[in-house]
């Protein structure tokens, strides 16, 4: 693997870019507030326009792995809606260069798939759990049958824990006036379980109108609430991504804070994102620097050329990271929602 030279302010060396988030599908069975506006009608990618399993594996083996990628996360939309998702997991896991393979899910379909995914070689699951209250949960995910959905998600979480996913990661997007009052209850899940709860600052992508109305809760404000209740120590546990990890004294699990709005971590970003229809995006907040790998692949562009194009984008990533936060779109609006990007 090669280390990317960083010519960004301060000349701080960038991390090695070895982590690829792979969206398997842009559809989702939830309509979460932070992914898309209420009532939004999305133009989902047609089945024939999604990367096929063979195309995805071809890109991994011949384009991404030769460029140093060894860690992969399957996302969506909701990745468990992808037909044959267990087979996708097994095929990526069988690649000898794969060092880590994880999956992000809302867990609604997880209870029946947890064992198969574990047996196929999936290392970890990250599960969205934005509320412990069914009514608030329903407000966030946009469904009238909130209690049934919350219960099914909780069953998925328990199934993942039961089959052996350890530690289990739970993602919480904190939205002011919606679920920020539950921070302490969610943090308490780590006291007696080896669960890793991650608090994520609400972002403008997906629902800019709500973001403009509500803003975000800074991670330090959340940490202070927890500190006042139990105390809080920096953890020796390190994650694969941008989370700052802490631990309540004596707790079995840990707390992570992803502070993309209040505490920019662009200088240590180690990831790229591949959309379900084959667009490679170097920065979540920047839509200007992208590669359409699927169209090029289907047009017969040689693999060596695709590999070189990705290599060139890797070289540009540090510059895109630093400038992308403030000028990632020409209009100030994002053309794709969080579910379409892959989170």
pLDDT of residue 85: 98
Region label for 30, one of left (φ > 0), alpha (ψ between -120 and 50) or beta (otherwise):
beta
* Domain residue extents for the chain: 9-341
| Mean pLDDT comparison of 66-80, 133-147, 208-222, highest-scoring range | 66-80
Confidence tier at 4 by pLDDT (50, 70, 90): very low
Among 111-115, 180-184, 283-287, 327-331, the range scoring the smallest mean pLDDT is 327-331
Rounded Cα–Cα distance for residues 253 and 235 (Å): 10
Q: Which one has a higher pLDDT value, 66 or 208?
A: 66
Using one digit for the tens of pLDDT, what is the confidence trace for 17-31?
Answer: 999 999 999 999 998
pLDDT of residue 289: 76
Q: In this structure, which topology does domain 9-341 adopt according to CATH?
A: TIM Barrel (3.20.20)
Residue 331 in this model has a pLDDT that exceeds 50: no
Rounded Cα–Cα distance for residues 119 and 113 (Å): 10
Q: What is the dihedral of CA 211, 280, 64, 89, to 10 degrees?
A: 60
Share of the chain above pLDDT 70, in %: 81
Share of the chain above pLDDT 90, in %: 62
pLDDT of residue 33: 82
Q: Determine if the pTM surpasses 0.85.
A: yes
pLDDT of residue 342: 54
pLDDT of residue 340: 52
CA-to-CA dists, residue 200 to 37, 237, 249, 260, angstroms: 18, 18, 22, 8
Mean pLDDT of 270-282: 92
Q: 3-state secondary structure string, the chain?
A: CCCCCCCCHHHCCCCCCCEEEEECCCCCCCCCCCCCCCCCCCCCCCHHHCCCHHHHHHHHHHHHHHHCCCEEEEECCCHHHCCCHHHHHHHHHCCCCCCEEEEEECCCCCCCCHHHHHHCCCCEEEEECCCCCHHHHHHHHCCCCHHHHHHHHHHHHHHHHHHCCCCEEEEEEECCCCCHHHHHHHHHHHCCCCEEEEEEECCCCCCHHHHHHHCCCCHHHHHHHHHHHHCCEECCCCCCCCCEEEECCCCCCEEEEECCCCCCCHHHCCEEEECCCCEEECECCECCCCEEHHHHHHCCCCHHHHHHHHHHHHHHHHHHHHHHHHHCCCCCCCCCCHHHHCC
Residues 6+ away with beta carbon under 8 Å from 151: 134
């Amino acid at each position: 693997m090669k280390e990317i030279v960083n010519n960004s302010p301060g000349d701080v060396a960038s991390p090695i870019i070895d982590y690829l988030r792979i969206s398997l599908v842009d559809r989702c069975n939830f309509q979460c507030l932070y992914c898309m506006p209420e009532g939004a009608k999305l133009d989902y990618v047609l089945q024939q326009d999604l990367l096929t399993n063979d195309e995805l594996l071809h890109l991994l083996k011949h384009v991404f792995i030769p460029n140093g990628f060894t860690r992969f996360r399957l996302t969506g939309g909701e990745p468990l809606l992808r037909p044959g998702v267990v087979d996708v997991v097994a095929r990526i896991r069988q690649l000898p260069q794969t060092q880590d393979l994880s999956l992000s899910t809302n867990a609604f379909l997880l209870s029946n798939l947890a064992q198969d995914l574990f047996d196929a070689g999936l290392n970890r699951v990250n599960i969205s759990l934005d509320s412990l209250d069914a009514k608030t949960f329903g407000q966030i995910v946009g469904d009238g049958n909130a209690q049934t959905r919350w219960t099914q998600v909780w069953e998925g979480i328990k199934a993942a824990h039961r089959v052996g996913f350890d530690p289990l990661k739970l993602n919480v997007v904190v939205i002011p006036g919606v679920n920020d009052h539950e921070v302490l209850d969610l943090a308490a899940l780590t006291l007696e379980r080896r669960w890793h709860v991650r608090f994520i600052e609400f972002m403008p992508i997906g629902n800019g109108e709500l973001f403009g109305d509500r803003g975000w809760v800074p991670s330090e404000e959340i940490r202070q609430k927890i500190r006042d209740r139990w105390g809080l120590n920096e953890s020796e546990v390190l994650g694969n991504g941008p989370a700052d990890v802490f631990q309540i004294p004596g707790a079995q699990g840990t707390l992570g804070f992803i502070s993309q709005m209040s505490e920019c971590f662009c200088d240590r970003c180690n990831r790229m994102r591949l959309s379900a229809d084959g667009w490679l995006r170097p920065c979540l907040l920047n839509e200007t620097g992208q590669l359409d790998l699927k169209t090029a692949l289907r047009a017969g562009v040689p693999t060596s050329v695709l590999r070189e194009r990705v290599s060139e984008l890797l070289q540009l990533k540090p510059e895109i990271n630093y400038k992308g936060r403030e000028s990632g779109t020409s209009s100030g609006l994002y053309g794709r929602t969080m579910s379409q990007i892959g989170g």
